[in-house]
Structure 1
Amino acid sequence: MSAWMVSSPCTAACAGHRLPPVAAVVRARRYAAVARALTRGLATGRRLARGEVLRAHAGAMIRALGLELEASTSAFSRPYDPDGPGSLIVSDHISWLDAIALFAVEPATALAKREVAQWPLFGALAARAGVQFIDRDRLRGLPGAVAQVAATLRSGRSVVVFPQGTTWCTESGSGFRRAMFQAAIDSGAPVLPVTVSYRQRGLPSTVAAFLGEDTFPSSLHRVISARDLAVRVTAHPALRPLPDRRALAALAQATIRGTETPAHL
Structure 2
Amino acid sequence: MSHWLPASPCTPPGCAVHDGRARHPVPAGALLLAGCALTLAGVLCAPLTLPLLGGAGRERLIRCWAHGVLRAFGVRVRVTGPPAARGGAASAGGGAPGVLVVANHVSWLDIPLVAAVCPGRMLAKSDIRRWPLLGPLAALGGTLFVERERLRALPATVRAVASALRGGARVVVFPEGSTWCGRGPGGRFRPAAFQAAIDAGAAVQPLRIRYLHGPRDHRARAGAAAFVGDDPLTASLWRVVRAAGLTAGIHVATPIPAGTVPGRRALARLAQSTVASDSANLPAASVHH
With normalisation by structure 2, the TM-score equals 0.86
**Alpha-carbon distance, 1:43 to partner:** 1.8
1:6 aligns with 2:18: no
Instruction: Tell me, yes or no, if the aligned pair for 2:32 and 2:237 is still in contact at 8 Å.
Output: no
The correspondence for 1:230, drawn from 233, 247, 254, is 247
Q: 1:62 maps to what in 2?
A: 70
Matches within 5 A, 1:65-144: 65-77=73-85, 80-144=92-156
What is the Cα deviation at residue 3 of structure 1? 4.7
Q: Does 2:34 align with 1:33?
A: yes
Name the residue aligned to 1:155: 167
Deviations 1:165-199 (A, max 9, x none): 10001162111111110010000000011001100
Q: Does the 8 A contact of 1:109 with 1:131 survive in 2?
A: yes
Query: For the Cα contact (< 8 Å) 1:75–1:237, is it kept in 2?
Result: no
Deviation at 1:127, TM superposition (A): 1.4
Q: Decide whether the 8 Å contact of 1:178 with 1:245 is kept in 2.
A: yes
Distance 2:177 2:33 in 1: 32
Partner deviation per Cα, 1:10-53 (whole Å, 9 max, x = no partner): 11111110213211121122022113202320221335583222
Alignment deviations for residues 193-212 of structure 1 (CA, whole Å, 9 cap, x no partner)? 10011000214322211111
Q: How many residues align?
A: 265
Runs of 4+ in 1 over 6 A off after TM superposition: none
Name 1:194's counterpart in structure 2: 207
Distance in 2 of aligned mates of 1:107 and 1:257? 22
Mapped to 2, the partners of 1:180 and 1:77 lie a distance apart of 17
Q: Deviations over 1:110-151 (max 9, x none)?
A: 111111111111211221222221110000000110111111
Report the Cα offset of residue 81 of structure 1: 3.9
Deviation string, structure 1 residues 213-263 (Cα, Å, up to 9, x no partner) = 101111111111111000011111111232311110100001110122248
Q: Write the distance in 1 (CA, Å) between the matches of 2:22 and 2:212.
A: 14
3-state SS of paired residue (2:102): strand
Distance 2:245 2:50 in 1: 28
TM-score for both structures, normalised by structure 1: 0.94
Matches of 2:2 and 2:18 in 1, distance apart?
34
Asked if structure 1 preserves the Cα contact closer than 8 Å seen for 2:85 and 2:255, the reply is no
The 5 A counterparts of 1:42-61 are: 42-46=43-47, 47=49, 50-61=58-69
Counterpart amino acid of residue 182 in structure 1 = Q
Q: Which runs of 5+ in 2 are unaligned?
A: 52-57
Task: Give 5+ residue unaligned stretches, structure 1.
Answer: none
Match of 1:261? 282
Does the alignment pair 1:246 with 2:265?
yes
What is the one-letter code of the residue matched to 1:26? Answer: P
Partner AA of 2:210 in structure 1: S
Find the aligned partners of 1:48 and 1:96 in 2 and give their Cα distance.
23
Distance across 1 between alignment mates of 2:98 and 2:287 = 35
Counterpart residue number, 2:19: 18
Give the equivalent residue in structure 1 for 2:193: 180
AA matched with 2:96: G
Distance 1:6 1:132 in 2: 19
| 1:80-106 Cα distance to aligned partner (Å, 9 max, x none) | 440101110000011111121010111
Q: Residue 117 of structure 1 contacts residue 124 of structure 1 at CA under 8 Å; is this kept in 2? A: yes
Q: Secondary structure at the match of 1:180?
A: helix
SS of 1:115 mapped into structure 2: helix
Report the secondary structure of 2:192's partner residue. coil
Q: Which deviates the most, 30-39 or 6-15?
A: 30-39
Contact 1:68/1:229 (8 A) holds in 2: yes
Residue 167 of structure 1 corresponds to which residue in structure 2?
179
